Amino acid sequence: RDAESVWILTPRATRIGRLRIAPADASAEPGTLRLTDSAAFGTGLHPTTAMCLEAIEEALQPSTPGALLDVGTGSGVLALAALLMGVPRALGLDIDAEALRAAAENARLNGLDRRLQLTAGGPDAVAGSWPLVVANLLAAPLVELAPVLVRRVGHHGRLMLSGIASSVEKDVDLANGRLGMQHVLARSRAGWSALVLQASW
């Protein structure tokens, strides 16, 4: 929870697209993603997270990718939501040990711990490629990590980037465009932007 870029919100139930998210101690209908209250970022209430969740849901139509890579997983909300939506498996990366603990706890809470793998580090800590890669960070690290993030995107795969201040959206888009990623769409909300890009290979 970066005090300079996001604000801390009281956990409460919310719905984003078809997905319902609720605090761990709240009564919830089946299929709800339940999250513990922790220091790890990602309750679904922040615009950057909500835009990512909407983009993931859209990316699952008309066919569901076989796996997802979540860079900077935080609470695990994006990876866990993708699993609930039907993605078979996900890998979450984070440099923060507390975030990895929170994500592991949330995976167990939702019965998804066998389908979510968690690894300490950034996108350079793993090898291989994924059909769907998401990274909800900030603009500066997204630009810095662009070369390795793009290498993690598989054949005609998609890269979803969020946590971008709308004023620097074009910089992030350009950094990825130079690496062969094609612009699919951009969305903005409350001063934040999210990008969906597709591999040209």
Q: What's the longest Cα–Cα distance across the chain?
A: 47
CA distance 108 to 201: 36
**In 12-26, which positions are buried (b, 16+ CB within 10 angstroms) versus exposed (e)?**
ebbebeebbbbeeee
**Residue-level pLDDT at 12:** 77
**Residue-level pLDDT at 97:** 96
pLDDT(10) > 90: no
**Residue-level pLDDT at 26:** 82
Burial class (CB in 10 A: 0-12, 13-18, 19+), 27: exposed
pLDDT(3) > 60: no
**Residue-level pLDDT at 9:** 54
Q: Residue 59 gets which letter from DSSP?
A: H
Question: What is the amino acid identity at position 64?
Answer: T
Query: What are 42-72's pLDDT values in tens digits?
Result: 777 789 999 999 999 999 998 999 999 999 9
